[in-house]
Amino acid sequence: MAVSASNSTAFEARLAGGSRLELVGELDLATVSILREAFERMAPEEQVTLDLSQLGFIDSCGLREISTYSRSLNGNGPLILENVPDRVTSVFKIVAFDELPSIQLS
């Protein structure tokens, strides 16, 4: 499953086996619905991993969508965020995103 944007901002949420999603491109207001659709297709009983190695940008809309989804896992979490680029790690630290109990950075 690859869901991508048809607007000028490029973003994809690619299923990378099982309950693993690769986020590619820029996650912002224009593309957050793509991630929401990908989350809706994930099995609710599985722990989900997001590979952020190809994520170039994330804004507050993207942070909110990930945070909201992580809290919805109802005991099947935490949501695991892997291969977080330095530029995204900086944003996580500024907003204390890395301290949320429903999210695990690895």
What is the CA 96 to chain-centroid distance, rounded? 16
Catalogue all structural domains in the chain, each as residue range(s) with its CATH number: 2-105 (3.30.750.24)
């224009």: which residue's tokens?
Answer: 30
| pLDDT > 90? residue 9 | no
* Residue 6 burial (10 A CB sphere; 0-12, 13-18, 19+): exposed
pLDDT band, very low/low/confident/very high, at 5 (cuts 50, 70, 90): very low
Higher pLDDT, 58 or 46: 58
